[in-house]
Amino acid sequence: MTDLARKRSNKQSISAFTILVLCALAIGSLLPSCKPAEKNNEQPNVLFIVLDTTRADRLGLYGHNRPTTPFLDEWSKKALVFDDCQSVSSTTVPSHASMFTGQLPSSHLTDNGHPTLDDKHETLAEILGSNGYRTFLFSANPFISEDNNFDQGFETAEHPWSEQHIAQSADIIRSKIDPADESSELPRKIKSGRVENWAIKACGEVAEDALVSWLDRTEKNKPFFAFINYMEAHRPLLPPRRLREKFMTKAQVRRSYKTDVSWTRMWEYVFGLFDYRKEEEEAINLTYDAAVAELDEILESLITSLDDRGNLDNTIILITADHGEHLCEHHLLDHQYSLYQPLLKVPMILWHPKVKAGRNTDPVSNIDVFPTILALAGVGNNPNANEYAVSLTQTRPRRLLRSDYFSPPKKPISDVKRKKRNWNDKPFLRRLRSIVDGKYKLIWSSDESHELYDLQVDPGELHNLFQQEQEIATAILSRLLPVANEAAYQNKNGNGAQTASQLKRMRAHGYTGSENEVADTNGIDSGTNGIE
């Protein structure tokens, strides 16, 4: 425990002792407010983990042919694993907002262009907090922070860049920078000595230390709700050399450090202005696998530590992802400009001593986290009840899986267009919505270039059936939900406006522009800058 944490712990212990003494001396109901909250022994703790940018098909338990997740593969045998989970969006902000509120993106209207979570939505943390839970957030993703009101309802919110963690976080990142790494802008910045907030996104070990410290210094007679977001699988990737060597030959390791997936080069590839060689695409894929393997090690350490401490005796653990990642499918990288399955198919693992282990093939969504936690915590009715989000513990009839992508980022396009003035950017400025109805998946596009796929025979979404299966396509299109208050969505720029310091942090993380730009709020269109 750090000196700062120890001081806080001692201070809280003194405060708790004082309250108990006052209550003991109180007569009858003269001091009713002094009575501490009593823990319901049946009320479980909740540990909710989001593996940011982690696609299901790169985990062993979902059939990956490389041993990326040996711990999760074994541990999940004691859990309920959902084989068909889809995210409600392909980017972080709308997906987290849905998981936190139980509302679809078309309802909460929080997305890359409008990244602030509206106060009017009651969050998981608020509901659990009002029902006797102590609440904790640790996020390595800068969007999921107080900057955008995602700390709403959390008593404590910490990050790798928080004052008490930044030194440890920076040391972890430095230890993972290989002298040969030229794959992104990040190693160059670290080597120059410029250790900024943005550079410490892949240091998941810090989350364990932060959570354990928080558990030790807060009221142990109350159940806990802890949320953790890990960024190891999010670009720029920094898996240590030892994990690269687990999946790569020596030549492939060298190539993984040399393949340029920096900001501008990546978008030039996405926009069809150049091609990676086959061996470079292989290096990109293998580096991602090494990053997933690092996540597996981090989860093993966290869960083992909590188990050894007795914190898991009555604890719900939910592990999912906010979205996946393109790994050169459809000539795409990152997680923008599409709603293809590499972005939407995510893991979903539910563990609790009272939940029967096994595999479930029902179609589920990561939005289902919201009603699931409320149901298992036994905290009453869902205040944001809707027909879409359903507890993972309930039997579900045939279900449509819905996903939205409302704010295509314009910044990468403008960066590239400055160099390629005659390049056609129109195909990348579309809003997208998708529905999976049984074996069929329809992608609606705002420019009417709709797509229809039979996922059973064409899981790679390579053969668009929209024109030849018009009757099926029309029937599915008719089931698209309207965007709640479309006018409000179109005029929501005020909610998305960010301060200069927020923009600097976003840009520094590579979310709002090239790494060389200086934060400047002049001329910023708040509805176009989010890249996460």
Superfamily of domain 37-508, CATH level 4: Alkaline Phosphatase, subunit A (3.40.720.10)
CB distance 298 to 208 below 8 Å: yes
Q: How far apart are CA 30 and CA 384, in angstroms?
A: 37
Tens-binned pLDDT, residue by residue, of the chain (532 aa): 433 333 334 434 434 443 333 333 333 333 333 333 344 458 999 999 999 999 999 999 999 999 999 999 999 999 999 999 999 999 999 999 999 999 999 999 999 888 999 999 999 999 999 999 999 999 999 999 999 999 999 999 999 999 999 989 988 998 998 999 999 988 877 777 666 666 678 899 999 999 999 999 999 999 999 999 999 999 999 999 999 999 999 999 999 999 999 999 999 999 999 999 999 999 999 999 999 999 999 999 999 999 999 999 899 999 999 999 999 999 999 999 999 999 999 999 999 988 899 999 999 999 999 999 999 999 866 666 667 899 999 877 678 999 999 988 888 998 888 888 888 899 999 999 999 999 999 999 999 999 999 999 999 999 999 999 999 999 999 998 888 655 555 554 444 445 555 555 555 544 444 333 322 222 222 233 333 4
Closest CA to 143 of 421, 407, 420, 476: 407
What lies within 8 Å, CB to CB, of 375 at 6+ separation is 391, 393, 394
Closest CA to 128 of 378, 387, 315: 378
Q: How deeply is 393 buried, as exposed, middle or buried, from its count of CB atoms within 10 A (0-12, 13-18, 19+)?
A: middle
The helix-helix angle for 278-309 and 205-217 (nearest 10°) equals 20
Pairing of strands 326-327, 333-334: antiparallel
DSSP one-letter string for 308-327:
HHTTTTTEEEEEE-S---EE
Per-domain residue ranges of the chain: 1-36, 37-508
**Residue 437 — φ and ψ, nearest 5°?**
-120, 95
Q: What is the DSSP letter of 122?
A: P
Q: How far apart are CA 112 and CA 55, in angstroms?
A: 20
Please give the structure tokens belonging to residue 380.
């009453």
Helix (H, G, I), strand (E, B) or coil at 302: helix
Backbone conformation region of residue 17, classed left if phi is above 0, alpha if psi is from -120 to 50, else beta: alpha
Q: How many CA atoms lie within 13 A of 388 on its CB side?
A: 24
